[in-house]
Chain A
Amino acid sequence: MTTGAPEPLLALTDVNTFYGQAQVHFDLSITVGRGHIVCLLGGNASGKSTTMKIILGLVKPRSGEVTFDGASLISLTTPQIVRRGIASVPEARRLFADMSVRENILMGAFVRSDRDAVAQDLDKMLTLFPKLGQRLSQRAGSLSGGEQQMVAMARALMSRPRLIVMDEPTMGLSPLYVDRVLELIRTINQDGVSIFMVEQNASLALEIAHEAYVLQTGKIVLSGPARTLKDDPRVRDAYLGGSEAA
């Protein structure tokens, strides 16, 4: 962190993560500035999802520091971290399949106790995601992939987070929904929520991101403002290298 720069909202510093013997992250350092969309690119098995889990406290690093708004998250549990203002859109959405769409969205507000404001926020979600209006009492598991993605995003917003971490939000969606999701991410961001998203699809992600990092087998090999990386041939190379190594 350079002196004088505003303190970032989220910072991972020299994180090393292991699953048993296998090391997944090597001195990983990532920062997410306030109000920014930051995207983490990388091929399969490069450790992207694990980065999300580190931020959320689902996996703890062997060494390194994770701070949110200046305070360390290392010793906090996932629910405590969520209460600090981080929400998530997990890989493959992970809705509560047997609960209704309404219940799923309201689960996002689990950490809140201001009932009236929650009810208002639910209405707000229905204007942001109009299609969900007719689906509210349907089982979440019966929705299409794109609809499920909408529910997952609404659910994340319901906790009024300062940061949303998203794992491959466009994965498996039709092109129409991909555009819709990207647009929504931008809208959410414009309302002041910072976004950290993991993506495989670099060209899409770089469209909307402010900064990006490229992860290759657990190491950051490239980082910088999204607009400079967009035309950087090394991004593609890193991918190819990554997939060869995988």
Chain B
Amino acid sequence: MSSWLDYTINGLIVGNVYALVAVGLALIFGVSRLINFAQGSIYLVGAYIGWVAVVQLHTPLPLTIIVVAVVAAVVGLIIERFGLRPLQNSVRIAPLLATIGISFVLDQLVMLTFSPNPRALPSQLPDVRFQVGGGTIGPLDLLIAGVGISSALLLFVFLRYTKLGWAVRAASQDRDAAMQMGVDVNRVNQTVFGIAAALGGVSGLLVGMYYNQIDTAMSLQATLKGVVAEVVGGAGNVPGAVIGSMLLGLVESYGVAVFGTSYRNLFAFLLLVVVLVLRPNGLFASARQAPPEPLTGTFIAPSRPVRIPRWALAVAIVALAILPLLPVSFYILQTLINAWLLGMLALSLTLVAGTIGQVSLGHAALLAIGAYTSALLSLTLNVPVGLAIMAGGLMSAALGTILISPSFRLRGHYVSIATLAIGEIVSLVILNWESVTRGPIGISGIPPLSLFGYDLISPASVYWFAFAVMVVLALLQARLLGSHLGRCFRAIRDDDIAARAYGLSLNRYKSLAFIFGGFAAGVSGGIAAHLYSYINHETFNTQQSILALTVVILGGLGNVVGAILGAVALVGLPEVFRIAAEYRILIYGIVLLLLVRFRPQGLLGTI
């Protein structure tokens, strides 16, 4: 029994930490209907500022907390002012993408400044434990609980008894009406971002002290956990976010107690998916309340696509096909092979996110499914590699569609959250299903690419294979877009309510899009597996999902040629300019931000 009390205490303490992140997300969502994917980065910044304060400046604890809160708040204000405010009148997807770009930039800056190696963040409190009932509790637990509860109280007082607090509440219920009462919505946004960032930063500090260690991977984890807690409590609902956080902390803690540590995150994401599917407005929303997101087609920038004449495309295909015959370096072929693989993923994502409007943030999971299927089939059952890759594509198509299907009724931001969670779930299942996937060890010795019994060893043959597969997929997809089916996809993207009113079955069309997209991504993952010869649960991670999204936006959402061009640009340009690997993610983040701000329709325009 005593350990159960410990797990409960632990769950509530961790819940407090999540609450500090989730409350900020809820405030921001309330006012701007935006899920701030940069929230975890601010938490990361908070942890590292805390490290600087504690380890280098030797500040006493109260001062450490104040320094962290202030610096984090300033970062939040800067994000709001320069990252998001300029996007106020642009398409609805823009701020979401901007926060993703900002989080990449911030994480990468922290990594470049402090190195990716974990650092020890010493707790500034004595290391003693008190007996409470059957469990134990330490000073840090009490500090975290104290900070959590006093923040909640302060926030309550602020929202309920101050003028600015009233403005925040009014703006979150009806932005236009609040403006008509004289509320300056920009000021409200600023306030909310400042508060959210201060709380998030302090949360990062406390977590660092709790685990005695900080590293840059904390950022995405924090965003994910905060989003889970917030959505469970009902997006935009501040008290709901607190309760959702406690619930999440407890579910995780008990889950760990029963199944072990590596299952911690699995429970978080399963909880999220279950809530999204059964009660998308959160556990505490009244049933009659409309979803807080009035979304229609304006989610994606409309534009006139750049027309590329057929002959030009044909010339380009021929030129790229004969490239290996020319005296080009191995290095260039290698780079282009990577571009073609990313191109296939981008084809998949541009169909799903662009054409039918389901902005997926978990697309790397489709790569992983294809890669594992193909690797395991060829390795354990001796299935010929060509066939195994096909099977990988089919498995991604089937499994990907089945996994995403419960969230077909979600829209807008919720699709992004659900796909992100499903992507994480896939990678966690791979990690934990050791009997099949070999768990954390990964799969090594995957046979090289081969076709009809001939091994494709030379760079040129690999190049041709990848290029040919990509071109075929691209041509198929172009055909698809021009067909009646393609028009139905776009109708659903532009106005799903009207599309349904015209009798289109949303589920059927979304399934078709995910089947086609899943196949392309699965094939890409399959080829990659045989090319790398080693894969594990981290080979295909969220960073790749986001990279693919950047590629797709760079090319123009829905645009087939654009997807490939975007892949070549984002893989090729860093090579051309010989940009060191550490800086690439930073560059991708900046590219995403610039695109969203200055050319949301991408290079070739959305279709």
Binding site for B on A (CB under 8 A): 56, 58, 77-79, 82-83, 87-88, 90, 94-99, 103, 106-108, 110-111, 155, 159
Contact = CB atoms under 8 A, between A and B. Distances in A.
Nearest to A86: B180
Nearest to B177: A94
B313 to A, nearest CB: 31
B167 interface: yes
Could you say which of A78, A87, A88, A159 has the most chain B C-beta atoms within 10 Å of its C-beta? A78
Nearest to A96: B173
Nearest to A93: B177
B182 A82 contact: yes
A133 B518 CA distance: 60
A111 B178 CA distance: 11
B182 A88 contact: no
B296 to A, nearest CB: 14
Q: Is the interface of A mostly helix, strand, loop or mixed?
A: loop
Interface string B171-202: 00110111111111100000000000000000
Contact of A83 (B163, B174, B182): B182
Contacts of B179: 58, 77-79, 82
Given A110-B181, A111-B182, A103 B166 contact: yes
Contacts of B166: 99, 103, 106-107, 110
A155 B174 CA distance: 15
Contacts of B181: 82, 107-108, 110-111, 155, 159
Contacts of A107: 166, 170, 178, 181
A60 to B, nearest CB: 11
A155 B181 CA distance: 9
Contacts of B170: 96, 99, 107, 110
8 contacts: A90-B180, A94-B177, A96-B173, A97-B174, A99-B169, A107-B170, A110-B166, A155-B181
Given A96-B174, A99-B173, 7 more contacts: A82-B180, A87-B180, A96-B169, A96-B178, A97-B173, A107-B181, A110-B170
A214 B185 CA distance: 34
B167 A110 contact: yes
A159 B163 CA distance: 15
Interface in B467-521: none
Contacts of B182: 78-79, 82-83, 110-111, 159
Contacts of B184: 77, 79
A142 to B, nearest CB: 11
A90 B177 CA distance: 8
B176 A94 contact: yes
Q: Is the interface of B mostly helix, strand, loop or mixed?
A: helix
A90 to B, nearest CB: 6
A111 B174 CA distance: 17
Contacts of A90: 176-177, 180
Could you say which of A90, A99, A110 has the most chain B C-beta atoms within 10 Å of its C-beta? A110
A88 B174 contact: no
Contacts of A99: 166, 169-170, 173
A98 B177 contact: no
Contacts of B163: 110
A159 B166 CA distance: 16
A78 B185 CA distance: 10
Contacts of A79: 179, 182-185
Given A103-B166, A110-B163, A88 B180 contact: yes
Interface in B195-219: none
Contacts of B177: 90, 94-96
B177 to A, nearest CB: 4
Contacts of B167: 110
A149 B163 CA distance: 24
A97 B292 CA distance: 13
Interface in B124-183: 163, 166-167, 169-170, 173-174, 176-183
Could you say which of A77, A79, A99, A159 has the most chain B C-beta atoms within 10 Å of its C-beta? A79
A230 B173 CA distance: 40
A83 B178 CA distance: 13
A83 B183 CA distance: 10
A57 to B, nearest CB: 9
Could you say which of B173, B178, B181, B184 has the most chain A C-beta atoms within 10 Å of its C-beta? B181
B421 to A, nearest CB: 28
A20 to B, nearest CB: 9
A107 B177 CA distance: 10
A155 B178 CA distance: 11
Contacts of A111: 181-182
B263 to A, nearest CB: 37
Contacts of B173: 96-99
A209 B294 CA distance: 36
Nearest to A108: B181
A138 B129 CA distance: 47
A106 B169 CA distance: 13
B176 A58 contact: yes
Contacts of A78: 179-180, 182
A106 B178 CA distance: 12
Which 3 A-B pairs give the minimum distances between C-beta atoms? Answer: A111-B182, A82-B182, A94-B177
A69 to B, nearest CB: 17
A107 B173 CA distance: 13
Nearest to A52: B180
Nearest to A83: B182
A110 B166 CA distance: 9
A175 B479 CA distance: 59
B365 to A, nearest CB: 37
A108 B178 CA distance: 9
A66 to B, nearest CB: 16
Contacts of A96: 169-170, 173-174, 177-178
A97 B177 CA distance: 11
A163 to B, nearest CB: 13
Contacts of A95: 174, 177
A98 B318 CA distance: 63
Contacts of B169: 96, 98-99
Contacts of B185: 79
A140 B170 CA distance: 12
A95 B183 CA distance: 14
A82 B176 CA distance: 12
A154 B312 CA distance: 66
A56 B170 CA distance: 18
Nearest to B167: A110
Contacts of A103: 166
A156 to B, nearest CB: 9
A41 B111 CA distance: 62
A88 B166 CA distance: 19
A91 B181 CA distance: 14
Nearest to A88: B180
A77 B184 CA distance: 9
A58 B175 CA distance: 11
Contacts of A98: 169, 173
A98 B185 CA distance: 18
